[in-house]
């Protein structure tokens, strides 16, 4: 088996007396779509923050493309090819859509400048369906477009691994179908995708493998079919809603 592109070992994050992540370990193979699910407050977003370095992990190892990245600052991790989106979108509101995306192109792993950067930005805007919006200010966009902008900016950094934090939250069923095909297309273009999702069935439909967190602990990992039948997952995460959903 080849070296996984991302290998997390015994990752721990403590806030004061609270253990937000305890001994989380998993590996993601190149070209996989890997899901992270769990109830609110399970530590999913904290996990992403530790992976990209916006929060320093308390202990543990994160190996990305064969090199240790735990403890590196966020911008350095991005330059190595690991990037995340935010669940609550964070566009630069006073900038145009194009300028938003070009920040990623300029300062991400690609470090593109001038015409090279402009070409790359235009291609990504086309691909994410924002081409017609290139010149509008980010603050004028509806939420669906803002979610796409969040992905477009991350793609512009030219990552090897893209971490998506609940990109389907708040979308309607037809938008979810579109988002799922976009995620597949991103994978098919050669990227590895990690995705947090609250919407279990959306994840199960698109991921190769998934991980379930509850109160910062891993309670299951594997292919979606097995994970969703895991008794602990059914009680802890799906709870009484399991039958209804």
Partner 1 sequence: MQDIAGVLVNSVISAALYATMAYGLAVIYGVMRIINLAHAGLMMLGAYATFSLFTRFGLDPFLSLLVVGPLFFLFGVVLYRLVVRRLPRSGATPSMESLLLLFGVWLVLQNFAYFIWTGDTQSILTAYTMKSVAVLGVRVGVPSLFVFAGSVLSLVFLNVVLKTTYLGKAIRAVTQNRDAALLAGVDADSISAVAFGLGTAFAGVAGGMLSTLYAFTPDFGRSFLLKAFCIIVLGGMESVTGVAAGALVLAFLENGLSAWTTLPTSFQDAVSFTLLFVTLVAFPQGLPGLFARLRTAFR
Partner 2 sequence: MRRLSLAAGVSLAVFTLAAPLFLERGTLNDVWSLAFAVILASAWNILGGFAGQVSLGYSAFLGIGAYTTVLLSLKGMDPFLSLPIGAVLAAIFSVAIGLPAFRLRGPYFTIATIGVGEAVRVCASSVSFTGGSSGLRMPAGSFDFTRNYEAMAVLAILTVVVAALVKRSAFGQALAAIKQDIDAAEALGVNSTRFKLGAHALSAAIVALAGSLYAINFQYIAPGSVFDFRLSLSIVLMPIVGGVGTIAGPVLGALVFSTLQIKLLSIPALRDSYLFIYGTLLIVVMLFEPKGILGLLRRVFNRRLRRFYADA
Q: Which residue has the tokens 């690991």?
A: 82
Which residue's CB is nearer to partner 2, number 119 or number 205? Answer: 119
Least distance (Å) between residue 90 CB and partner 2: 4
Binding mask 55-94 for partner 1 (x = CB under 8 A): x--------------------------------x------
* CA–CA distance, 6 with 21 (Å, rounded to integer): 18
* CA–CA distance, 227 with 221 (Å, rounded to integer): 6
Which residue's CB is nearer to partner 2, number 60 or number 104? Answer: 104
Q: Is 108 in the site for partner 2 (CB under 8 A)?
A: yes
Which residue's CB is nearer to partner 1, number 50 or number 171? Answer: 50
Least distance (Å) between residue 145 CB and partner 2: 16
Q: Is 100 in the site for partner 1 (CB under 8 A)?
A: no
Total residues interacting with partner 2, rule: CB under 8 A: 30
Answer for which of 5, 11, 24, 46 binds partner 1 (CB under 8 A) is 46
Q: Answer with the entry of partner 1, partner 2, none that 45 interacts with (C-beta below 5 to 8 A by kind).
A: partner 1
Least distance (Å) between residue 92 CB and partner 1: 16
Binding residues for partner 1, rule: CB under 8 A, are 15-16, 20, 41, 45-46, 49, 55, 88
């Amino acid at each position: 088996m080849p070296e996984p592109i991302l290998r997390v070992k015994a990752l721990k994050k403590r806030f004061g007396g609270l253990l937000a992540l305890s001994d989380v370990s998993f590996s993601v193979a190149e070209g996989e779509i890997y899901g992270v699910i769990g109830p609110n407050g399970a530590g999913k977003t904290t996990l992403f923050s530790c992976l990209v370095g916006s929060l320093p992990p308390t202990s543990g190892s994160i190996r990305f493309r064969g090199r240790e990245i735990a403890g590196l600052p966020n911008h350095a991790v991005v330059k190595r090819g690991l990037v995340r989106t935010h669940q609550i979108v964070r566009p630069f509101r006073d900038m145009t859509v194009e300028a938003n995306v070009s920040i990623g192109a300029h300062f991400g792993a690609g470090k593109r400048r001038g015409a090279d950067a402009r070409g790359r930005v235009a291609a990504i805007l086309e691909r994410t369906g924002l081409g017609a919006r290139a010149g509008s200010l980010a603050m004028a966009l509806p939420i669906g477009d803002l979610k796409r902008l969040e992905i477009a900016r991350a793609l512009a950094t030219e990552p090897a691994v893209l971490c998506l934090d609940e990109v389907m939250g708040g979308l309607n069923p037809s938008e979810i179908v579109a988002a799922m095909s976009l995620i597949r297309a991103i994978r098919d273009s050669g990227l590895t995708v990690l995705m947090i999702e609250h919407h279990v069935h959306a994840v199960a439909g698109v991921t190769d493998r998934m991980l379930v967190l509850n109160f910062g602990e891993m309670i299951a990992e594997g292919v979606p079919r097995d994970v969703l039948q895991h008794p602990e997952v059914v009680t802890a995460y799906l709870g009484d809603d399991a039958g209804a959903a």
